[in-house]
Amino acid sequence: MRVLLVHSHPVPESFSHALCAAVRAGLERAGHEVDLLDLYAEGFTPALGTDERRRYHDPAANQAGIETHLARLKAAEALVFVYPTWWYGLPAMLKGWLDRVWVPGATFTLPERGPIEGQLKSIRRIGTVTTFGAPWWFMRFYLGHPGRKLITRGLRGLCARGCAVTWLEIDRMDSRTRPDLAAFRDRVEAAFARW
Residue-level pLDDT at 51: 95
Summary mean pLDDT of the chain: 96
Q: For residue 190, how many C-alpha atoms fall within 13 Å in the half-sphere facing its CB?
A: 6
pLDDT in tens, 65-96: 999 999 999 999 999 999 999 999 999 999 99
Phi, psi of 117 (to 5 degrees): -115, 125
Q: What is residue 57's predicted lDDT score, i.e. its pLDDT?
A: 93
Average pLDDT over residues 125-141: 92
> How distant, in Å, are the alpha carbons of 15, 19, 67, 159 from that of 118?
33, 29, 18, 6
Residue 156: name the closest of 128, 195, 187 by CA: 128
- Determine the pLDDT at residue 139: 85
Q: What is the reported pLDDT for 77?
A: 98
Strands (E), 33-154: 33-38, 78-84, 108-109, 117-118, 125-131
13-66 residue pLDDT tens: 999 999 999 999 999 999 999 999 999 999 999 999 999 999 999 999 999 999
Q: Give the CATH number of the domain where residue 58 resides.
A: 3.40.50.360
Range of the domain at 25: 2-193
| Number of domains present in the structure of the chain | 1
E-strand stretches of 2-132: 2-7, 33-38, 78-84, 108-109, 117-118, 125-131
Does 135 have pLDDT greater than 90?
A: no
Question: Residue 178: its pLDDT value, please?
Answer: 96
